[in-house]
A and B are shown apart, each in its own frame.
Chain A
Amino acid sequence: MTSQEIDAADVLDRVKTGVKAFDDLVMGGFPRARTTVVGGTPGSGKTVFATQFLVHGITMFGERGVLVTFEEPPRDIEANMRSFGWDLRRWREQGALAFVDASPPANDELVIGDFDLAGLLARIQHAVKTVNARRVVLDSLTQLFDHFIGEPKILRRELFHISSALKKSGLTVLMTAERNSEYGEITRHRLEEFVADNVVILRNVLQREKRRRTIEVLKMRGSHHAEGEAPFTLVANQGVVAVPLSSLRLEQQSSMVRVTSGNPAIDEMCGGGFFRDSVTLVSGATGTGKTLLVTNFLAGGVAAGEKAILFGYEESKGQLFRNASGWGVDFAKMQEDGRLKIICLYPEAQGLPDHLLTIESLVDEFRPNRIAIDSLSALERIAPDTGFREFLISLTSFIKKREIAGLCTATSKSLIGGESASEQHISTLTDSIILLRYIQEHDTMHRGLMVLKMRGSEHAKEIRRFTIDSRGMHLGEPFADAPNVFTGTDNDFTR
């Protein structure tokens, strides 16, 4: 541990949210005995995030909580949160959770003259004492401002008072507040200015007809935090699941263990096979043999006694099985033996963060030695650029952390030569790149394969012809007069 880390630990005790990737963003959790304002537009997930803070406190860290609800009565909250698998009622009955129902009363009410919120504070402190709470959530302050709409000055003074009183008792407080727009003032009524030590923003932005949820730590008094927006998703039975990004470091061990690509000739070109914890990109136009390489990759692993998993986003399971048997590979048998798992999903079925979580959870469940994704281009079409790049970073990093071999495919847009957008995105993130190209030689079209990049290893530089038949892929001789694989033009003609 460095001296800097020791200092930080001394100064601020951390209260974990239990949302792993989020805790990483804030260097371990929210500082204890501080107030955090969680701002977001309606539907951005504030209540879920805040409730989850209490839920994880109870289920993971043995810290009890108080939920002060200004919008809905406790009964409604209990019903709403059941879809995340949280039984608030049970915890309430067990004395691990207490509600303070501050939802608007049905009574006629008149406000004249000066007042304070001692009633509210007394109730919160009473609830805290009853369950011996360490965490308090107020959801949402905006509703409180609407309730006393004519008196914003008094409310500011009183909320400051409540915030200080709770902090003095060592309580870690989350207050939610509404925002009018995704990129405007931080919160309505500018709450963050007078109560917050920390500010967290939840966003729910519509981009290219897709919702993209992000979480950003805007301010963290007396502490470092990661900057920028990190994607997250709301998952049934789990709640907020943040997708790790800037918290990722390139800390993966790179192993020198080689594994087969499933094709001895390609292994040879790569200097003895792929590295075990590396990600390889196969790029080529439609019909050049990408899915065949994937099939070989899976079959080669299974033949070597490994377990393999395939995520297909272009073809159905039936199609993949037929293709494989057309090349002499029996997927059904491998699947029966429990050595192979194939998941086919329609890219549009869910957002990219959800796709990532699907991949992660299935990999952790099946524990394969190798993984193939066919194709990244299909996934790219459902996401805005930044979202896709974030997805790729998270995916490649996950594959390496699990120390498994990864093979991804990307489709180039033009038939001959050319680069696809995914190639540009992914080329820096993958360890190896294999190009499959149509190459025109005089009046016939050939297929060519080359290893463009192989991180940490020598590799063959030539472009090899290959053919495909009922037994799979066969590599032939290199092209004699080096066609240009990037433009697709035959050098004979350009000279």
Chain B
Amino acid sequence: MVHADKATPLVTGSVLRLYVAGNSASSRQAVQNLKRLQMLIKAEGGHVEIIDVLANPELAEKDSILATPTLCYEHSGRHRRIVGDLSDTKKILVFLGIEMKGTAA
């Protein structure tokens, strides 16, 4: 995979932001999967937040969110997004370029 070789840990200054829509099935699924993801990655210092677009549509507007759930990852000026219920953890980490715990020094 393209991103695997430049994988970096989730570090200070990086942001993981999950946009969900109320209590919908895919949103609940995504929140669960994000929790699992946080346990897998080296999350020291990274900022994680969950935003409900139904309660905060202006934040969705600001971040140009169309679909929910959407996970936005900002790290050192790079923006990446994943749309969907975050079920495929491995694919997500590869796409975001985040190391799993114990895979690197």
Q: Which residues of A contact B (CB under 8 A)?
A: 100-103, 105-120, 122-123, 125-127, 144, 147-148
Are A114 and B84 closer than 8 Å at their CB atoms? yes
Nearest B residue to A73 by beta-carbon distance?
B64
For chain B, the count of residues having a C-beta within 8 Å of the partner chain is: 35
Are B81 and A109 closer than 8 Å at their CB atoms? yes
Q: Quick one: which of B19, B79, B80, B86 contacts A112, CB cutoff 8 A?
A: B86
Are B92 and A112 closer than 8 Å at their CB atoms? yes
Chain B positions 11 through 28: 1 when the CB is less than 8 Å from some CB of chain A, otherwise 0: 000000001011011110
Which chain A residues lie closer than 8 Å to B40 at the CB level? none
Are A123 and B87 closer than 8 Å at their CB atoms? no
Given A101-B64, A112-B86, A115-B68, verify A122-B80 contact (CB < 8 Å).
no
Which chain B residues lie closer than 8 Å to A109 at the CB level? 80-83
**A-B pairs with lowest CB-CB distance, top 10:** A118-B21, A126-B57, A113-B84, A119-B65, A113-B85, A112-B84, A122-B57, A122-B53, A107-B79, A111-B83
Q: Which residues of B contact A (CB under 8 A)?
A: 19, 21-22, 24-27, 29, 53-54, 57-58, 60-61, 64-70, 72, 79-88, 91-92, 95
The smallest C-beta distance from A468 to any residue of chain B, in angstroms, reads 74
In the assembled complex, 23 residue pairs joining A and B whose CB atoms fall closer than 8 Å, in A order, are: A102-B64, A105-B64, A105-B79, A107-B72, A108-B79, A108-B95, A109-B80, A109-B81, A110-B81, A110-B82, A110-B84, A112-B82, A112-B88, A114-B25, A115-B26, A118-B53, A119-B53, A119-B60, A119-B67, A120-B67, A122-B60, A125-B57, A126-B60
A-B pair number, CB within 8 angstroms: 111
Are B86 and A115 closer than 8 Å at their CB atoms? no
Nearest B residue to A114 by beta-carbon distance?
B26
Which interface residue of B70, B83, B86, B91 has the most chain A CB atoms within 10 A?
Answer: B83
The smallest C-beta distance from B82 to any residue of chain A, in angstroms, reads 5
Which chain B residues lie closer than 8 Å to A113 at the CB level? 26, 29, 84-88
Are A112 and B64 closer than 8 Å at their CB atoms? no
Which interface residue of B64, B86, B92 has the most chain A CB atoms within 10 A?
Answer: B64
Q: Quick one: which of B70, B86, B88 contacts A119, CB cutoff 8 A?
A: B70
Are A116 and B84 closer than 8 Å at their CB atoms? no
* A-B contact sample (20 more), CB < 8 A, given A113-B86, A126-B58: A101-B61, A105-B64, A107-B72, A107-B80, A109-B82, A110-B81, A110-B82, A111-B82, A112-B87, A115-B70, A115-B83, A115-B84, A115-B85, A117-B66, A118-B67, A119-B60, A120-B67, A123-B53, A123-B57, A125-B57
